[in-house]
């Protein structure tokens, strides 16, 4: 039976959590999970369960589920695989509505594991919803719960609902997403999915008002037909991005041994994802960037770009990327060209589309009006600006230290640019895509790399997606655009994005 | 006339440099170039030239080239474009062998610029070799000279010779390369290339004993036939990687306005690069990674990978990447599988190819023997290990703090792994490719990101290329392998790589 969203809410927003298999050994899941919830600041009631312990991490330990002072909302199970069925029976007897089974050693581990997993599925049908086994469970910032290795995930909620068959993949994704301004409503690492699986989660996120964009890492699905029907329903209401691992012959073998999934054939999957209206991601980093673009760019469907950079090779790279992804870089009117030429240095600079700003240290008071002029062109639908934090930062500092207007200028260059782009978008509806390459690559330049990451926050918190290179930006934009054209505008418009504190 | 390598040595290893157009204004090239050489620590004699100044940055300023106390090895010219011919005439009269013209406003700027540039080419034929115009000049760490915006480039020399039509592109590349262990013999930003151009530079780097790998960013070439002949000669002796910008229709227009180049057609270029034996890069970051692979992996031609990761999704991603790039992931013998199984945790781990290490905090004392076991398989030619610095770092710290063996363990996890991989390579000849994804993406995790960059140094300084994701690693490896198969082993073997201080 697919779960109703109401059935899942206690699992995703628990006020009380029991940990079966609580441990005092720092390498055991039953220790690390407790510690992660404490570190993360879970505000609810936390009950370790283990008949052989009295206390762990300052918490009283209960000998059994029966002995708990209340039937909790969520049981986290980390006992060895053969003991999991008995643990779930205890939970069932106590009327606990849901459990997440972190333990491995099930379907992915051979015949005995398959038998055990079938037993879990039977127990689930008797009245407890089960996440896992072989998973890291639920990250729900509003409820204050996180994955076992997720104590450093963001405490802020946001518009992305995510589910993943892989626990490690969930973690990599959440950490990659954090610095790109992505915040989650709920993230579910559901592992082998003996009970709750893709259909339940798609239905939940479709119905969930907190979730505006849905993402998933999948290796296989239990019932392909039901999955694609649920995907189609969800994608008709919200953008959905799927990274399907194991689409090559070598990858399929890996998916089978990882989560016991039958991964399916690449052409079938790709055609089905497209037909269902989902965006197909090619890797975990690509998945993160697709989600960022969905959140920041909403219902964008344009095909014309206005490109500007401080340096010709950067423009050539952006133009090549546009050529590879079928975006147009329309010529601009002579009036616009003259307006831009009046702003930029004559030597080294070049007005037009693209505009070469001559050097990467150009002041926001120049770049802002150039962006605005390009955005004023009717055939330009989005802007693409390519800057490098590293020497820009140094040059700008040097310049400002010498400039008589120095103290009157705002301190942060990228904050100024982000605000200018935000104003232009409010006025024209045309978004900016920002490219900040990874040039401070040496540990000796750690301060500059940190500045790049702060700059990225200035952009993403204002709905400006920020990429490492132009090829990635436009590959992602192309897929978002195709999705939006098919979906006929079913997507949030800019303005709904909750800004994260910069 | 193509330059001989002997003609270029004074320009690339100058003991004295004059700066024509020296300035005291911090935004002028003639100031910034002087300052860059001072910051970089140029050990030779530096002579600013400007009839209107007496002193700048603590240096005596000379009124003219004629007034200099010696005929310098290299003149750096940053006067406005119309004044450049006169400046070169002064240099010619003084017998200066070479000049780099940083000034813009030539071929890229219209008819008058084209006329001026032709004048420079005429002067060059009268006996001075000219780099530029519209360039940043020469970076030569052994000589202590750098590009105008290159004061933070590495002071160490290395095996990569590089030339670029783009100044900004040279800078981005040098900064991206720095943290990936790449060091340069000489890097030349040659801009419009009115005199010295691709053929001269290919011949120089082919002959240069310091240079073992050659790279270039090109927008167009003066003489296609001569270029491809020189490329073929060079690529027959050393790996050459070319990123040709402007290979799409939109990109071509940009290349024309940037350096006035006629960029050519994509199919012609791609076929010609392949026929000449060069590796084609797709973007600047890709160019950096190709160069890193050439330096680290030398004459690698294998097709079989041994894959290991702490987490199933990472293995699936690596397997999919192998599938996309035609690498094999051969099954391993039951003996090897048993040896691996004895090392890794039974729950969550999985011995085989790939091997799932169960979690990303696995100790080097486990990973080392697993790598060694995989490398012992006859069909495995290279290893691919996928780890994440972020929580690995934290988990490992936590574990070691508790472990009784803690103080006896080496402090740096990745240093241990890098040393293990180095030993395995010495013993078996099989290299490691390392994947360290960008998971510490938030400024709040800056310390972890710095740790990732330090870890990257541990790997690259030991000849282990280090990538952000598996797809990039194997895309690069595929091209290196194809190049080496065509070249029949004309490439350095591992062992020659000069380690950079870790």
Task: State mean pLDDT over B178-198.
Answer: 97
Look at B219 and A395 and tell me if their CB atoms are within 8 Å. no
pLDDT digits (tens, 9 = 90+) for B449-488: 888 999 999 999 999 999 999 999 999 999 999 999 988 7
Task: Give the model's confidence band at B399: pLDDT under 50 very low, under 70 low, under 90 confident, else very high.
Answer: low
Q: Determine the pLDDT at residue A53.
A: 97
- Dist CA B216 CA B313 (whole Å): 36
pLDDT value for B7: 95
Report the half-sphere exposure of A343 (CA within 13 A, side-chain side): 24
Please report where in the chains the tokens 């992505």 appear, as a residue: A182
Whole-prediction pTM: 0.92
Residue numbers in A near B259 (CB within 8 A): 312
Q: Quick one: CA dihedral B413, B416, B420, B426, positive or negative?
A: positive
> Cα separation of A376 and A368, whole Å?
12
> With pLDDT > 90 as the criterion, what percentage of chain A qualifies?
75
Question: Taking CB atoms and an 8 Å limit, are A166 and B399 in contact across chains?
Answer: no
Percent residues over pLDDT 70 in chain B:
89
pLDDT tops 50 at residue B290:
yes
Distance CA B238, CA A288 (A): 38
pLDDT-wise least confident of A119-128, B344-353, B393-402:
B393-402
Please list every residue in chain B whose beta carbon sits closer than 8 Å to the beta carbon of residue A168.
310-314, 359-360, 388
Q: Do A319 and B246 touch (CB under 8 A)?
A: yes
- Per run of 10 residues, the mean pLDDT along chain A (length 502 residues) is 92 98 90 94 98 97 98 97 98 98 91 96 97 96 95 95 94 95 97 96 97 96 93 96 84 64 71 94 95 96 95 89 94 96 86 90 90 98 87 52 47 87 97 94 88 92 96 97 84 44 32
pLDDT for residue A336? 97
- From B214's Cα to the closest Cα of chain A, the distance in A is 19
* Cis peptide preceding A303, ω within 30 of 0: no
Average pLDDT (B71-75) is 97
**Which pLDDT value is given to residue B390?**
56
CB contact under 8 A, A283 and B388: no
pLDDT of residue A393: 46
ipTM of predicted complex: 0.90
Closest CB from B258, B348, B398 relative to A104: B348
Q: Is the pLDDT of residue B267 over 90?
A: no
Q: What is the pLDDT of residue B96?
A: 98
Q: Between helices B312-325 and B470-487, what is the axis angle to 10°?
A: 30
Instruction: Give the separation between CA B197 and CA B222, rounded to whole angstroms.
Output: 8
Q: Which pLDDT value is given to residue B403?
A: 54
| R_g of chain B computed on alpha carbons | 25
Does B361 have pLDDT greater than 90?
Answer: no
Q: How far is A344 from chain B (nearest CA, A)?
A: 14
The whole-angstrom separation of Cα A299 and Cα A301 is: 6
Per-residue b or e along A459-492, where b marks 16 or more CB atoms closer than 10 Å to that residue's CB: bbbbbbbbbbbbbbbbbbbbbbbebbeebeeebb
pLDDT in tens, A39-91: 999 999 999 999 999 999 999 999 999 999 999 999 999 999 999 999 999 99
Which helix or strand (DSSP H or E) is residue B94 part of? helix B84-94
Between B109 and B161, the more confident residue is B161
Task: State mean pLDDT over B312-337.
Answer: 93
pLDDT score at B253: 66
pLDDT of A346 reads 78
Tell me what pLDDT residue B348 has. Answer: 74
**Tens of pLDDT, residues A456-481:** 999 999 999 999 999 999 999 999 99
Q: What is the 3-state secondary structure (H, E, C) of A214-276?
A: EEEEECCCCCHHHHHHHHHHHHCCCCEEEEECCCCHHHHHHHHHHHCCCCCCHHHHHHHHHHH
Residue B259 pLDDT grade (very low, low, confident, very high; cuts 50, 70, 90): low
From CA A251, how far away is CA A320, in angstroms rounded? 30
- List the CATH code of the domain at B300-487: 3.40.50.261
Q: Find tokens 């005995």 and name the residue.
A: A112
Q: How many CB atoms lie within 10 A of CB B487?
A: 17
* Residue indicated by tokens 């010529």: A331
What pLDDT is attached to residue A252?
67
Res. B352 pLDDT band, cuts 50 70 90 = very high
Tell me if B313 and A217 make a contact (CB, 8 A cut-off).
yes
Q: Map out the domains of chain A as residue ranges.
A: 5-294, 300-487
Architecture of domain A5-294: 3-Layer(aba) Sandwich (3.40)
Interface mutation target, options B147, B216, B254, chain A, most CBs of A under 10 Å: B254
User: Do the domains A5-294 and A300-487 sit in the same CATH topology, yes or no?
Assistant: yes
More confident residue, B184 or B395: B184
Question: How far, in Å, CA of B277 to CA of B70, rounded?
Answer: 44
Report CB contact under 8 Å: A250, B322. yes
Sign of CA dihedral B251, B253, B255, B261: positive
Residues B485/B486/B489/B491 CA torsion (nearest 10 deg): -110
Judged against a pLDDT cut of 80, whether residue B202 lies above it is answered with: yes
User: Mean pLDDT in chain B?
Assistant: 90
Give A249 or B1, the one with higher predicted confidence: B1
State how far the Cα of A137 lies from the Cα of A12, in Å rounded to an integer: 10
User: Is pLDDT of B372 > 50?
Assistant: yes
Quick one: pLDDT at residue B426?
A: 96
- In chain B, how many H helices and how many E strands? 17, 18
- Give ∠ CA B148-B152-B158 in degrees, rounded to 5: 100
pLDDT tier at B490, thresholds 50, 70, 90 = low
């Amino acid at each position: 039976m697919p779960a109703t969203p109401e059935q899942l809410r206690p699992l995703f927003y628990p006020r009380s959590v029991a940990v079966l298999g609580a441990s005092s050994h720092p390498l055991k899941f039953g220790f690390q999970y407790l510690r992660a919830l404490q570190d993360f600041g879970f505000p609810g009631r936390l009950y370790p369960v283990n008949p052989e312990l009295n206390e762990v991490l300052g918490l009283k330990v209960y000998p059994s589920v029966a002995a708990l002072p209340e039937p909790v909302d969520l049981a986290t199970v980390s006992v060895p695989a053969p003991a999991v069925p008995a643990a779930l029976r205890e939970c069932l007897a106590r009327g606990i509505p849901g459990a997440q089974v972190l333990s491995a050693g099930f379907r992915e581990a051979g015949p005995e594991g398959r038998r055990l997993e079938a037993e879990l599925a039977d127990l689930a049908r008797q009245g407890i919803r089960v996440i896992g086994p072989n998973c890291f469970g639920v990250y729900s910032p509003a409820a204050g719960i996180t994955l076992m290795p997720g104590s450093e995930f963001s405490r802020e909620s946001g518009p992305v609902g995510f589910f993943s068959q892989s626990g490690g993949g969930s973690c990599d994704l959440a950490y990659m997403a954090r610095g790109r301004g992505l915040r989650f409503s709920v993230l579910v690492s559901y592992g082998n999915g003996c009970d709750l699986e893709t259909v339940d989660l798609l239905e939940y996120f479709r119905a969930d008002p907190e979730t505006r964009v849905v993402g998933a890492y999948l290796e296989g699905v239990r019932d392909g037909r039901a999955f694609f029907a649920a995907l189609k329903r969800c994608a008709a209401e919200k953008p959905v991005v799927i990274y399907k691992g194991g689409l090559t012959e070598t990858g399929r073998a890996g998916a089978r041994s990882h989560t016991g999934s039958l991964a399916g054939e690449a052409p079938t999957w790709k055609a089905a994802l497209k037909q269902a209206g989902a965006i197909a991601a090619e890797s975990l980093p690509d998945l993160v960037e697709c989600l960022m673009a969905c959140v920041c760019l909403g219902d964008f469907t344009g095909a014309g770009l206005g490109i500007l950079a401080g340096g010709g090779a950067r423009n050539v790279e952006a133009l090549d990327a546009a050529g590879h992804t079928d975006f147009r870089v329309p010529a601009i009117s002579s009036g616009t060209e003259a307006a831009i030429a009046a702003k930029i240095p004559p030597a080294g600079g070049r007005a037009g589309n693209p505009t070469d700003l001559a050097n990467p240290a150009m002041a926001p008071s120049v770049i802002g009006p150039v962006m605005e002029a390009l955005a004023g062109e009717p055939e330009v639908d989005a802007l693409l600006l390519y800057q490098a934090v590293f020497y820009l930062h140094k040059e700008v500092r040097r310049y400002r230290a010498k400039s008589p207007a120095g103290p009157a200028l705002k301190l942060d260059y990228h904050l100024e640019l982000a605000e200018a782009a935000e104003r232009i978008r409010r006025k024209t509806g045309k978004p900016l895509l920002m490219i900040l390459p990874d040039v401070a690559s040496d540990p000796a330049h750690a301060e500059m790399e940190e500045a790049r990451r702060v700059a990225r926050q200035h952009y993403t918190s204002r709905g400006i997606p920020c990429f490492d290179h132009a090829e990635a930006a436009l590959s992602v934009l192309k897929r978002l655009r195709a999705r939006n054209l098919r979906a006929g505008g079913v997507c949030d418009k800019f303005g709904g994005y909750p800004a994260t504190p910069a």
